[in-house]
Amino acid sequence: MINPELLQSLVWMDYRLAVLFTVVLPLILLVWAFVKKSEGLQLLLTIYWKVASLLMITVYLMIGGFSIGFISGLMARILIPLSLWFWEDLNEEIREQPNSLLRFSFVSWRWAVTIYNSIGAIAVALFLPCAFSREQLSSVQCQTWLEPPLLYKAYFHADYTNGFLGFFGIVGLIIYMAALGYFVFVRLGRQGRSAIN
């Protein structure tokens, strides 16, 4: 298995990149799209935020020590790029927009976040056994993935127990899966790959 120090530095680098690519940059782009009244980008970024909320749910699951966090983390890495490229009408609208700094920035970010999440999905998939064995979850390799969420907890939720915060992760996951199920089994059949009703 990978050297523990190297793994720790890679995991922390991944969390830092996640903050940059999945929180800071899309938030800037969303505000910019609203200021420029770019409705197609606003809609796509709103969809992105709904899908990407699974990353925050994963953080709370990992704070609670729930091994299902490894599965939800992998799901998030797969669903985020899908949500950015899935919609035929929005993709066409973005292609037809005149060249601008906003369009260039969005397209660059979309490619960057797709590549980042694809590499991240492969990395998380290597640690998927952490999700299926209590013994495996207690290993150094699996526990390394829990360090950044626990630091997040220390900064923002120091007064709450891990179990209490993990409970919110479970509730969030149930709501997320219900919404995803509704989209896949009801809405997708009605509107196909069109984001605009």
DSSP for 106-161, please give it: HHHHHHHHHHHHHHHHHHHHHTGGGGT-HHHHTSHHHHHHHHHHHHHHHHH-TTS-
What single letter denotes the amino acid at residue 158? Answer: A
Quick: pLDDT tens for 30-80.
999 999 999 999 999 999 999 999 999 999 999 999 999 999 999 999 999
Is the pTM higher than 0.85?
yes
Instruction: State the angle between helix axes of 101-126 and 4-19 in degrees (0 to 180), rounded to the nearest 10.
Output: 150
